[in-house]
């Protein structure tokens, strides 16, 4: 019995010593509980876990043993892995930290309250930090004041711009509808006159071609008659053997094969075939053109193989010179179109000009509509404040590069002093969290990285008095991050005041 009493006494002493350690400035609340949660931790016989899952004796709160699944029974120790410790940070700003940071030998709270049992001395720096934070807040408040006014201005402009554009699109579409009949009419007229113009030109051209054909036929017939030495109305191999022009290998005689080459592979050609076989006639004509010289006796004697090919008396080549057919068909100028055709050409030119004029106007209107519709496809924020900034470019020099961002268009990296540009991404979308969507932009599909992804850029946006790039970095290869300030991101200072008030 005596022994039992001693144990009980020892237990009381241990608890009392734990209590002693609970010297803190949380008032009646257990250590680590924010003032806002005071009512939930009011001292009673029992404590109910905040998720309602369990009730435990109140003295098990902060007993360094985790009882509640949500960690709510250990706000002041590191016993629960999912619990939270609230630093009061008087003089600065209260802060919730994960329980695991309690007594981990690292000072997390500016008042040092998280290291209450580790032995680590954490100086209370809240008043200095608080002072700095208050100064920063005052500056930020002033920026918000100026920036928000500008944002309201931008918003007004943006709204005007988008409404005007919408109205414009309506007007332009009407204009387009109005232009359509005149455009159709002008096109119809142009097609109709062009049809007549083509017919008249064709007639003229056909007459000209018929004339050329006739002329060619005459020339061919004349040539045929000259080549038809034996006048049997056929040009045969024997006929051609009379002309040095067909002695392709220039051995002093025209062989069967050489002659055949000029008769398109045949042994003989009558006048119709000769005329028809345009190629044959042309080649013969050209042959005469390129070798107009008659064959001299001297030349014949010089040939080595005269003996072998037989006497020049019977089989040699005659001196007769065949005049090449005149090439008049190529040289003769096509006569000008007759007056009626010329009048039609003029009429068609005028119809083309009129159609072109109206088409250009129509296309201009159509392009303006398309540009406006494309402009309106973008999300310019809830108050359209980003609309006037579309296409605006800002630059920043960072190490060896100049970075440029053209809003809603693309991001670029340029070697300083160099000319070539690397595309860091085309406009993709707003990527901020649901409740602050317009705080981050994404640009992707940039130039491919060697052995890596296509370059892309995330633009993190904060309030500033002017739209400018303030920082650029490449956190991982070919993935860039820009920090952009802009009045379009400034929120209402009244809201800031409200929040500041709530925090206090």
Binding site for ligand MAN (CB under 6 A): 413, 422, 449-450, 474, 477-478
The CB-of-452 to ligand MAN minimum distance in angstroms stands at 7
Nearer Cβ to ligand MAN (391/418): 418
The CB-of-440 to ligand MAN minimum distance in angstroms stands at 20
Q: How far apart are CA 235 and CA 270, in angstroms?
A: 6
Helical pair 126-227 and 339-376, crossing angle rounded to 10 deg: 160
The CB-of-455 to ligand MAN minimum distance in angstroms stands at 7
Q: Are 32 and 75 in contact (CB under 8 A)?
A: yes
Q: Are 484 and 469 in contact (CB under 8 A)?
A: yes
Q: Please list, in sequence order, all residues whose beta carbon lies within 8 angstroms of the beta carbon of residue 54, skipping any fewer than 6 positions away.
A: 48, 67, 68, 69
Nearer Cβ to ligand MAN (234/481): 481
**Which residue is it, tokens 């040539």?**
223
The CB-of-450 to ligand MAN minimum distance in angstroms stands at 5
The CB-of-464 to ligand MAN minimum distance in angstroms stands at 25
Q: How far apart are CA 50 and CA 69, in angstroms?
A: 9
Nearer Cβ to ligand MAN (266/447): 447
Query: Within 10 Å of residue 5's Cβ, how many Cβ atoms?
Result: 9
Q: How far apart are CA 481 and CA 465, in angstroms?
A: 21
Query: Within 10 Å of residue 432's Cβ, how many Cβ atoms?
Result: 14
Beta bridge partners of 395: 404
| Strand 440-444 relative to strand 456-463, pairing | antiparallel
The pairs formed by 68-71 with CB atoms below 8 angstroms and a separation of 24 or more are 71/99
The CB-of-425 to ligand MAN minimum distance in angstroms stands at 12
Q: Are 45 and 56 in contact (CB under 8 A)?
A: no
Taking the alpha carbons at both ends of the chain, their separation in whole angstroms is 56
Nearer Cβ to ligand MAN (84/404): 404
The CB-of-445 to ligand MAN minimum distance in angstroms stands at 15
Q: How far is CA 120 from the centre of its chain?
A: 57
Nearer Cβ to ligand MAN (416/477): 477
Nearer Cβ to ligand MAN (284/459): 459
| Strand 421-430 relative to strand 440-444, pairing | antiparallel
Query: Within 10 Å of residue 425's Cβ, how many Cβ atoms?
Result: 25
Distance (Å) of CA 285 to CA 42, 48, 247, 338:
122, 117, 14, 33
The CB-of-470 to ligand MAN minimum distance in angstroms stands at 19
Q: How far is CA 444 from the centre of its chain?
A: 9
Residue nearest to ligand MAN (CB): 450
Nearer Cβ to ligand MAN (38/422): 422
Print burial letters for 43-64: b (CB count within 10 Å at least 16), e (below 16): eeeebbbeeeeeebebebbbbe
Nearer Cβ to ligand MAN (299/474): 474
Nearer Cβ to ligand MAN (234/483): 483
Nearer Cβ to ligand MAN (59/395): 395
């Amino acid at each position: 019995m005596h022994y039992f009493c001693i144990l009980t006494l020892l237990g009381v002493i241990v608890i009392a010593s734990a209590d002693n350690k609970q010297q803190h400035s949380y008032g009646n609340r257990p250590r680590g509980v924010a003032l806002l949660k005071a009512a939930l931790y009011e001292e009673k016989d029992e404590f109910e876990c905040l998720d309602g899952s369990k009730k435990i004796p109140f003295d098990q709160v902060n007993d360094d043993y985790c009882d509640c699944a949500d960690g709510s029974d250990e706000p002041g120790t590191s016993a629960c892995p999912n619990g939270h410790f609230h630093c009061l940070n008087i003089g600065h700003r209260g802060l919730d930290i994960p329980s695991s940071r309690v007594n981990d030998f690292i000072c997390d709270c500016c008042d040092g309250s998280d290291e209450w049992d580790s032995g680590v001395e954490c100086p209370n720096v809240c008043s200095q930090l608080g002072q700095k934070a208050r100064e920063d807040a005052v500056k930020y408040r002033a920026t918000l004041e100026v920036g928000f006014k500008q944002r309201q201005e931008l918003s007004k402009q943006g709204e005007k711009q988008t409404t005007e554009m919408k109205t414009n699109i309506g007007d332009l579409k009407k204009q387009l509808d109005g232009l359509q009949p005149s455009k159709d009419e002008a096109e119809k007229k142009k097609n109709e006159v062009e049809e007549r113009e083509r017919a008249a030109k064709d007639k003229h051209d056909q007459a000209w071609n018929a004339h050329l054909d006739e002329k060619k036929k005459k020339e061919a017939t004349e040539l045929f008659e000259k080549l038809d030495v034996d006048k049997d109305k056929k040009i045969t191999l024997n006929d051609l053997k009379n002309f040095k022009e067909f002695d392709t290998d220039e051995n002093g005689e025209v062989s069967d094969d050489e002659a055949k080459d000029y008769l398109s592979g045949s042994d003989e050609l009558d006048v119709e075939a000769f005329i028809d076989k345009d190629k044959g006639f042309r080649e013969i004509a050209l042959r005469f053109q390129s070798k107009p010289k008659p064959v001299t006796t001297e030349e014949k004697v010089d040939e080595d193989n005269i003996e072998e090919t037989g006497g020049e008396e019977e089989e040699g080549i005659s001196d007769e010179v065949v005049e090449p057919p005149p090439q008049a068909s190529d040289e003769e100028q096509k006569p000008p179109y007759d007056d009626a055709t010329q009048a039609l050409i003029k009429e068609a030119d005028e119809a083309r000009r009129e159609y072109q004029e109206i088409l250009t106007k129509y296309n201009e209107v159509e392009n303006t509509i398309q540009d406006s519709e494309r402009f309106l496809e973008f999300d310019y924020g809830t108050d359209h404040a980003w609309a006037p900034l579309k296409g605006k470019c800002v630059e920043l020099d960072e190490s060896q590069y100049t970075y440029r961002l053209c809003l809603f268009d693309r991001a670029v990296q340029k070697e300083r002093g160099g000319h070539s540009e690397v595309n860091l991404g085309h406009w993709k979308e707003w990527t901020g969290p649901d409740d602050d969507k317009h705080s981050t932009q994404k640009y992707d599909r940039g130039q491919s990285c060697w052995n890596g992804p296509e370059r892309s850029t995330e633009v993190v946006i904060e309030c500033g008095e002017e739209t400018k790039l303030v920082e650029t970095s490449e956190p991982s290869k070919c993935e860039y991050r820009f920090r952009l300030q802009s009045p379009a991101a400034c929120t209402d200072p009244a809201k800031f005041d409200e929040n500041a008030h709530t925090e206090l």
